[in-house]
Amino acid sequence: MNKLDKKIKEALRQEDAELYEDLDGEPSVFEMMAEAFQGRHWWLNALTFFWTLVFFVLAIVSAVKFFNTQDTNTAMMWAIAFIFCMMAVAMLKMWFWMELQKNAVTREIKRLELQIARLASRLKE
């Protein structure tokens, strides 16, 4: 926690400080992944996860076939298949991590909205 967070926490009232404590912790990577499968687009995340596993298994199969072949043309084909599958895995993983980052940014925006709403209600008093 940096100095600004400490100053904000000191400025809050007791009930606001308790609320801030509840919102303070960041979820772990596994909790964020679980949240990704509970949202509105859970099916898209599940589909991405499924295809990532499929391409990874195909990459492993391609690597095994590459090392077990004797023909140069066949070896090139399996090497290209391996490279394609690993690129697909990398792209799908990047997309999934961007989804996790989007959810984290949305969570922070909602925290800010809550703090602004509490500040506005305090100013009306």
**Domain assignments of the chain as residue spans, ordered by start:** 38-124
Q: Which residue has the tokens 């990532």?
A: 52
Residue 67 has a pLDDT of: 96
pLDDT computed for residue 88 by the predictor:
97
CA distances from 114 to 3, 15, 77, 109, 125 (A): 21, 14, 56, 9, 17
Q: Cα 86 vs. chain centroid, distance in angstroms? A: 20
Looking at residue 76, what is its pLDDT? 97
Q: What's the average pLDDT block by block, 10 residues per block, for the chain (125 residues)? A: 65 62 70 81 90 97 96 96 98 93 88 84 76
